[in-house]
A = this chain, B = another copy of it.
Amino acid sequence: MYEEFSFIEQKLEPLTFGNPAARELKDDCSFFTNINNLVISVDNSIEGIHVPLGTDVKVQARRAVLRALSDIATFGANPLCIFSSICIPHDYKTNFFDKIAIGFKEALIEYDMFLAGGDITLYEGPLSFSITVLGSDGIKNMGRNGAKKGDLVVLSGNIGSSFIGLKLLKNEISKKQVNDYTFLINKFLVPFPRISLGKNISHFSTSIIDISDGLISDLNHICLRSKLGAKINLDNIPILEDAKKLIDAKIITLKDLITAGDDYELLYTIDPKDSINIDEGSVIIGEMHEDNDYKVVNISNEIIISDKDLKGYKHF
């Protein structure tokens, strides 16, 4: 079976015909330096794949836009507008249309964007959004390929909360087992694209990615693009009290949290001299090194995850 990444790399990347805007299809966005530094990304959000079946349609619509926006953050761009391709199942409920419009509206107002166009089709399939998002004034030299040997690896916030939120929504973890149920499910249902942070760090970060596939998998993208390895100190990775409790109770593992996706925090690298510039919410979790290997170690320097199990979290 083909995997998403090999299809993209072997079959689709040649179709960029080397145009630099496409960035070899290896970044979160395309970046048009010849068109006002326009940044564009496309993200699918499908019921039953990206959100559990039965998720409120308004929430699905809003989340679809917010997820797409997260990519824009990685180029320090200003959200401009969206195009929405919507495929609606034939047996839709009458309130679907209102809910889609309300969900879009919330996200658009929150990020000062407008709806610029799209397409709608009724079909025999799940409710599906494909959101094309445009951002203006992206910052050059961002993306995943600029990390240097010795750069520090920085994370913009705690991770794994979205994973726990999803488990709660699917009743795989009980509401009683956590303190902050609403916060956790909202981490999954209402992504917080790091637009402002993206702009702030764009002046000194050497590479950047948003964590959609999981910390481990997404850091691996930076390693591969930057042709470097990385060493991450597990104990530096910020996780919530609720996550610690669930790990202690052996309901989840720390590895779950660092391989799970949908956090939409930014993972970025900086020259050590810029460590004074990182914001309060960001945490240094490791560093880039010249060897191609990549490992996550615990406080005793024992390897917890190595190159061999860099699978991460795949939607595909």
Task: List residues of A whose CB falls within 8 A of some B CB.
Answer: 2, 4, 7-8, 11-12, 14-17, 19, 21-22, 25, 29-30, 35-36, 38, 40-44, 46, 48-50, 81, 83-85, 87, 94, 97-98, 100-101, 104-105, 108, 114-126, 128, 130, 132, 134, 136, 315-316
Please give, as numbers and ranges, the residues of chain B lying within 8 Å of A25 by CB-CB distance.
115, 117-118
How many copies of this chain? 2
Contacts of A108 in B (CB 8 A): 15, 17
Q: A97-B7, A105-B15 are in contact. Are A40 and B116 (CB under 8 A)?
A: yes
Contact between A15 and B123 (Cβ–Cβ < 8 Å)? no
Give the complex CA separation of A36 and B35 in angstroms. Answer: 7
> A-B pairs with the 7 shortest C-beta distances?
A125-B125, A85-B130, A11-B101, A15-B115, A30-B116, A19-B114, A130-B130
CB distance from A45 to the nearest CB of B (A): 9
Known pairs A25-B115, A35-B35, A35-B38 / 20 extra A-B pairs, C-beta < 8 Å = A7-B120, A12-B101, A15-B115, A17-B108, A25-B117, A30-B116, A35-B136, A41-B117, A42-B118, A42-B132, A44-B119, A44-B121, A46-B123, A48-B124, A83-B132, A85-B85, A119-B130, A123-B126, A125-B125, A125-B126
Shortest C-beta distance, A59 to chain B (Å), equals 17
Which chain B residues lie closer than 8 Å to A132 at the CB level?
40, 42, 83, 85, 132
